[in-house]
Amino acid sequence: MKISLAQMDTKLGDVEYNYKHAEELIRNAAKEKPDVVCLPEVWNIGYIPKNYKGICDKDGKDIRRIFGSLAKELNINIIAGSIANNKNNKFYNTSLTFDRKGNCIAEYDKSHLFTFAKEEEYFEWGEKTVTFELDGVL
């Protein structure tokens, strides 16, 4: 399995820029024909700006629409790093995985928040582990 890691320079609080930049990196990586492209943690908001609650994804709707379509179009699996995600006014550090057909096949809320960085002040603790299969590999 060929994996491409997309390290990106995010802009703090600039969600539109971060989405466009992530898509650009995925499209660029796809030229090398990887099986999977992985994005970094909390790339959508550029880590944790002061106004993070107002700019988080709403239940992952934006990422599901954009990256589901992108995975299908490019015929690649995407592990969309993690995003700051608002689920019913509770905020999580959520990772979504898309298969080649554009289906979201896994959703994981970070369960081991980094206390040294005080992530627990911003995010709720996830409650479960998640496993998934991509192209027959578990």
pLDDT (0 to 100) of residue 136: 95
The Cα–Cα gap between 72 and 10 comes to 25
Tokens 């491409």 appear where? 4
Residue 49 has pLDDT above 90, yes or no: no
Q: Which CATH architecture has domain 3-121?
A: 4-Layer Sandwich (3.60)
DSSP secondary-structure letter at 121?
G
Identify which of 26, 38, 40 has the alpha carbon closest to the alpha carbon of residue 74: 26
Write down the pLDDT at residue 126. 97
Q: Phi-psi category of 81—alpha, beta or left, where left has phi over 0 and alpha has psi -120 to 50?
A: left
Hey, where are the domains in the chain? 3-121
Q: What is the arithmetic mean of pLDDT over 62-72?
A: 97
pLDDT, tens digit, 9 for 90 and up, residues 77-135 = 999 999 999 999 999 999 999 999 999 999 999 999 999 989 999 999 999 999 999 99
Q: What is the mean pLDDT of the chain?
A: 96
Residues paired with 84 in a beta bridge: 93
